[in-house]
Structure 1
Amino acid sequence: MALIQCEFYSEVLGLSSTMNVILPQETHSQIGMEGKVTGGKHPTLYLLHGLSDDHSIWLRRTSIERYAAEYGIAVVMPAAHRSFYTDMKQGGDYFKFVSEELPQLAESFFPLSDRREDRFVAGLSMGGYGALKLGLRRPDRYAAAASLSGATDASALYERGDVAYTQELERIFGTVEELRGSENDLFYLTEQLAQSNSTEVPQLYQCCGTEDFLYEHNIRFRDHVKQLGLALTYEEEPGEHEWGYWDTKIQHVLEWLPLRK
């Protein structure tokens, strides 16, 4: 695998930004691993970070480069700050950035496939919310979306009782009433997708540890999706909101992805 730290300017955000990119490389003599390429432009996983992290965190806390090597898949890890991958009420247009500008730039810089069936998104915590939102709002662009311990019920975050955190959420989403039933509400988005009768429905994956503080949020979202009749791969087992769990589960995600043979 080749690892590239890419510094670039975002017209959407109006600032310089960063993404880490792992590109497949066919290798046979590399000690400890072999690399694979699928031929042509690479299938790509856009891998999103959590609230307190950045573009470097997946490389620092997991073996994502080693895991991805055997699948011949590229991995793009952008910096999105504390944005919830949202066009913020007070701040940058981070959903437009990650859904439109980032793939366009990454696919112009690197040999990445622009085919829907080769494009996937996953993330943890805030990034799990972002991954599901990308898949649900842009089913024409993503064949699969995966959430690891995701903040699947954003409106419930307002119930935490932390005044500073609530104010931060309001700068991102507006009031909880503005969030509910909007394009930033995953429950609303799944309802819209179920009612659309679209043939372009991304495969969905969700996991959460049973000791995670977001576990009840994930159960509510899981039950809602299943009630709507949308296909969902759901996994749970003992685990907390921590990197040992995510290092294991990202391997499950890579195995689950509908990669073309």
Structure 2
Amino acid sequence: MAFFDCHFFSESLGVSASMHVILPQPTTGQIGMESRAVKEKHPTLYLLHGLSDDHTIWMRRTSIERYASEYGLAVVMPAVNRSFYTDMAHGYKYWTFISEELPALARSFFPLSEEREDTFAAGLSMGGYGAIKLALSCPDQFAAGASLSGAVDVVSLVYKRDAVEFGNMFGDLDQIKGSRNDLFHLAEELVRLEGPRPKLYQCCGTEDFLYEDNVRFREHCRAKNLELTYEEEPGTHEWGYWDRKIQSVLNWLPIR
């Protein structure tokens, strides 16, 4: 695998932005790494960080580079700060950045596939919310979305956290339910539309503070007959769990 620390200007944010990118490299001589044969343009996973982290965290806390090498998968890890992957009411347009500008820029910089069938999103905690939001909001762009211990019920979450900070992100907190920032609403909207539906993956530790929220979202998706793979096991909100489960996500992805 090749690793890139990439810094660039974002038109949608109006500031310089950062991402880490790992790309498949065909090699037989690298000790301890397995590399699948690669295409001209790589299948791509957009791997999203949580509320307190940045674009470096997946490389620092897991062996994502080693895991991805077995699948011939490129991984793009952007920084979005404490934005909850939204066009913030008082802040920057991070939803526009992550859903529109970032994929276009990444494909202009690197040999990444433009095909929906080769494009996936995953993330942990806040990033799990962002990944499912991408899959549900942009089903014509993403074939799959995976949430690890995701903040999937943002309506419930905002009343447990700092109301001022979440107000800066979302605006009027009473208006989140039924909006484009509500994953439950996005799931309902998706089933009303004709067209492709993304595969969804969801996991959460049974001792995680977000466990009950994840159970509610699981039941909602099942009621809507969405294609959801759900896994749970003992675990809390920590990197040992996420390092294990990202391997499950990579094995689950519908990589062609």
Q: What are the superposed Cα offsets for residues 107-148 of structure 1, whole Å, 9 maximum, x if unpaired?
A: 000000010000000000000000000110000000000000
Q: 1:173 maps to what in 2?
A: 170
Q: Does 1:218 align with 2:218?
A: no
Shift of 1:157: 1.3
Q: 1:60 maps to what in 2?
A: 60
Q: 1:93 maps to what in 2?
A: 93
Shift of 1:228: 1.0
Counterpart amino acid of residue 210 in structure 2: L
SS of the residue 1:82 aligns to: coil
Shift of 1:229: 1.1
1:132-147 residue pairs with structure 2 within 5 A? 132-147=132-147
Q: What are the superposed Cα offsets for residues 148-193 of structure 1, whole Å, 9 maximum, x if unpaired?
A: 0000000111221x5xx11100111112221110000000000001
User: Which one of 176, 188, 192 corresponds to residue 195 of structure 1?
Assistant: 192
**CA separation in 1, counterparts of 2:14 and 2:28?**
43
**CA separation in 1, counterparts of 2:200 and 2:16?**
32
Shift of 1:37: 3.1
Q: Does 1:77 align with 2:77?
A: yes
SS of the residue 2:159 aligns to: helix
- Is contact 1:46-1:122 (8 Å) kept? yes
Q: 1:4 maps to what in 2?
A: 4
SS of the residue 1:205 aligns to: strand
SS of the residue 2:85 aligns to: coil
Q: 1:207 maps to what in 2?
A: 203
TM-score, scaled relative to structure 2: 0.99
**CA separation in 1, counterparts of 2:176 and 2:65?**
36
> Structure 1 stretches of 5 or more lacking a match?
none
- Is contact 2:26-2:38 (8 Å) kept? no
Q: Does 1:109 align with 2:106?
A: no
Divergent runs of 4+, >2 A: none
- Percent of aligned pairs with the same residue? 64
Q: What are the superposed Cα offsets for residues 208-240 of structure 1, whole Å, 9 maximum, x if unpaired?
A: 000000000000000011011111000000000
**CA separation in 1, counterparts of 2:91 and 2:37?**
39
Q: What are the superposed Cα offsets for residues 31-56 of structure 1, whole Å, 9 maximum, x if unpaired?
A: 11122233220000000000000000
SS of the residue 2:218 aligns to: helix
TM-score, scaled relative to structure 1: 0.97
